Amino acid sequence: MESINTLFEKQKNYYKQGKTRSIQHRLDALEKLNDAIKKNEPRIIEALQKDLHKSEFESFMTEVGILYTEIEYVKKHLRKWMKPKRVKTPLTHIGSKSFIHPEPYGVALIIAPWNYPFQLALAPLIGAIAAGNCAIIKPSELTPHTSELIRHMVQETFNPDFLSVVEGGVETSQSLLEKTFDYIFFTGSVPVGKIVMEQAAKHLTPVTLELGGKSPAIVHEDADIKLSAKRIAWGKFINAGQTCVAPDYLYLHESIKEPFLKAFEQAIKELYGKEPLNNTAYTHIVNEKHFNRLTAFLDNGKLRFGGKTDPNKKAIEPTVLTDIKWDDPIMADEIFGPILPVLTFDELPDMIDEITNIPKPLALYLFTENKAVQDKILAEISFGGGCINDTIYHLASPYLPFGGVGNSGMGSYHGKSSFDTFSHHKSVLKQTTRFDIPIRYPNTKNGLKWV
Ligand code: NAD
């Protein structure tokens, strides 16, 4: 494969030719991407099965289907988004008009993680194409079958001077980060996010950082217990908990702890059966390192449910741990696996205090019908995005910008937000030449002066 330097220079030159800017080029490229995904669907599902033991149902719902919806939405609205937008002009600027022109940044770099390795490499690409950029994608090396497939698919579909995939691990990623990209879109962990931002700072390249964090699921005393148990179990154990917006820990009102945990066990059984380790629809852990990291948490607190593991398959049962304290190792960082620690609270302010003592989470899920409680949590806890009475669903709406805040990231995407993220919004004032107002010039008298 040609070197990163050559590829980067070719993309820079291609971008300069202006071909990526027309609406037709953008729409055609989005259509081609859609067709390529359709054509490769069976291979995508096979690669995800090999890399993560993902079921066909989950692969379609969380990796492929979500991309079709996004492409369709972007295609439908692109023409409107691309138009320069006329905005108001203050009286002091009489005679002139004001416009905001969205323009592509140029050549974008997209670095993707392994947990939704197909979707998280291509969802940002939709935004990059829609905004008229060239792009290089660096998929995760931890999911090699999916990475290879993405490279093959993009190579087969697009001119590499326009869109390309560079496969590889940390060193490849670092070599790419040495180049002066016009935009960097990174999805991954907090420590690597900091490295990416540091590299980007050397070139003053703007970044979006889609990171992670400890996202709480709070269940208040009045919540619908059965429904909240089902929705939290689904959000936590989909992809075996390896989801950036998975509920990381459960915060239960003390008064409903027992009924909730009973309903939760029942919900897990309904979702994955009595033997999840033998369930073909249950995702496994990506590699041995993460398997060992996760199994080390199993002696934290008290095992309430699950806890069995299979090292050969790298699978861990949906597991619930109670009697957890904030200084237990499982509460130190994002868990990113199918183990759910449970904390309880009696008073809202104490619970809010604990959550706001740790870095701002990517998501927060609150289960209550009480509007005053909803308002209080929304007003007092900062988080990237989330749901009231559900988990994860906010991520699948093109009308809701998706992203983190503080340690969970910066910037956002999905729907129009993706277009905006990959566009520079150029402000232009169009001044009249019919007259000139002298007050701004020194030594002139007030009043209009016709030129
Ligand atoms: P990671 O940070 O280890 O790796 C992400 C990408 O960065 C990979 O392509 C990897 O090759 C590259 N990379 C790794 N180390 C690097 C380095 N030192 N310099 C340059 N590049 C480097 O993340 P991961 O383990 O693949 O993914 C899991 C993390 O991603 C979790 O923290 C999760 O919360 C987060 N995540 C966030 C979102 C989101 O949308 N906010 C989505 C998925 C995952």
Q: What mean pLDDT comes out for the span 310-333? A: 97
| 134: annotated active-site residue | no
Residue to substitute in 115, 147, 202, 402 for testing ligand 1 pocket (most ligand atoms within 8 angstroms of CB): 115
Burial class (CB in 10 A: 0-12, 13-18, 19+), 409: buried
58, 210, 317, 334: which is the annotated catalytic residue?
A: 210
pLDDT over threshold 90, residue 316: yes
Q: Say whether pLDDT at 169 is over 60.
A: yes
Q: What is the mean pLDDT of residues 287-300?
A: 97
Helix, strand, coil shares of the chain as percentages rounded to 5?
A: 45, 20, 35
pLDDT band of residue 439 (cuts 50, 70, 90) is confident
Chain CA centroid to CA 177, Å = 20
Is pLDDT at 445 greater than 80 in this prediction? no
444 pLDDT above the threshold of 70: no
Minimum CA distance residue for ligand 1 atom 34: 212
Rounded mean pLDDT, 192-200: 98
Average pLDDT value for residue range 177-196: 98
Question: Closest ligand 1 atom, CA of 142?
Answer: 26
Residue to mutate, 140, 242, 294, ligand 1, most ligand atoms under 8 Å from C-beta: 140
pLDDT-derived band at 440, boundaries 50, 70, 90: confident
- Distance from the alpha carbon of residue 316 to the mean position of ligand 1, in angstroms: 22
What integer best gives the mean pLDDT of the chain?
96
Instruction: Give the sign of the dihedral formed by CA 435, CA 440, CA 442, CA 445.
Output: positive
Radius of gyration, CA atoms only, the chain: 25
pLDDT in tens, 118-135: 999 999 999 999 999 999
Tens digits of per-residue pLDDT, 91-121? 999 999 999 999 999 999 999 999 999 999 9
Residues with CB under 6 A from ligand 1: 111-115, 120, 138, 140-141, 169-170, 173-174, 187-189, 192, 195, 210-212, 244, 334, 336, 362, 404, 409
Question: In this model, does residue 196 exceed pLDDT 60?
Answer: yes
Provide the 8-state DSSP code for 361. Answer: P
For residue 128, CA distances in Å to 103, 136, 440 come to 11, 10, 41
In the predicted structure, residue 448 carries a pLDDT above the cut 90: no
Kindly give the distance from the C-alpha atom of residue 431 to the centroid of ligand 1, in angstroms, as a whole number.
47
**Per-residue pLDDT tens for 364-404?**
999 999 999 999 999 999 999 999 999 999 999 999 999 99
pLDDT at 442: 85
Ligand 1 atom closest to the Cα of residue 362 is 41
Name the active-site residue from 58, 70, 134, 244: 244
Q: Which residue from 305, 246, 311, 313 is spatially nearest to 280, judged by alpha carbons?
A: 313
Report the percent of the chain where pLDDT is more than 70.
98
